[in-house]
């Protein structure tokens, strides 16, 4: 599968996750995002999901919290006050376009 295809599926999964959120906070790990995108638990898919979430974290679209001191896995947190959350709720298609531009 091409990288652009995987990237689009990951972005789509993130947008759907935010659209269907019931509460005011969403937390996700790279493994969960890869599974939501339909990529399974393939190691390369999880790494791509982790890189996507790290880039979004660097651009201040979401917050990073280490799961525990022993674990190297990160949990990424989005709150309803965050810019990305509000953009997805207002205009999901525009949010997808913006995310694709940021990740290039």
Write down the domain spans for the chain. 3-103
Is pLDDT at 70 greater than 90 in this prediction? Answer: no
Is pLDDT at 30 greater than 70 in this prediction? Answer: yes
Contacts 24+ apart (CB under 8 A), 42-49: 45/6, 48/3, 48/6, 48/7, 48/10, 49/10
Is pLDDT at 36 greater than 80 in this prediction? Answer: yes
Is pLDDT at 69 greater than 70 in this prediction? Answer: no
pLDDT at residue number 73:
80
What is the third-level CATH fold of 3-103? Arc Repressor Mutant, subunit A (1.10.10)
pLDDT at residue number 35:
95
Is pLDDT at 96 greater than 90 in this prediction? Answer: yes
Report the half-sphere exposure of 20 (CA within 13 A, side-chain side): 7
> Whole-prediction pTM value?
0.88
């Amino acid at each position: 599968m091409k990288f652009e295809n995987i990237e689009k599926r990951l972005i789509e999964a993130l947008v759907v996750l935010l659209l269907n959120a019931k509460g005011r906070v969403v937390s996700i790990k790279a493994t969960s995002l890869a599974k939501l995108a339909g990529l399974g638990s393939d190691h390369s898919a999880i790494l791509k999901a982790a890189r996507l979430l790290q880039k979004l974290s660097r651009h201040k679209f979401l917050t990073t919290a280490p799961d525990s001191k022993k674990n190297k896995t990160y949990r990424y947190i989005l709150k309803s006050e965050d810019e990305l959350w509000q953009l997805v709720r207002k205009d999901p298609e525009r949010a997808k376009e913006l995310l694709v531009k940021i990740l290039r």
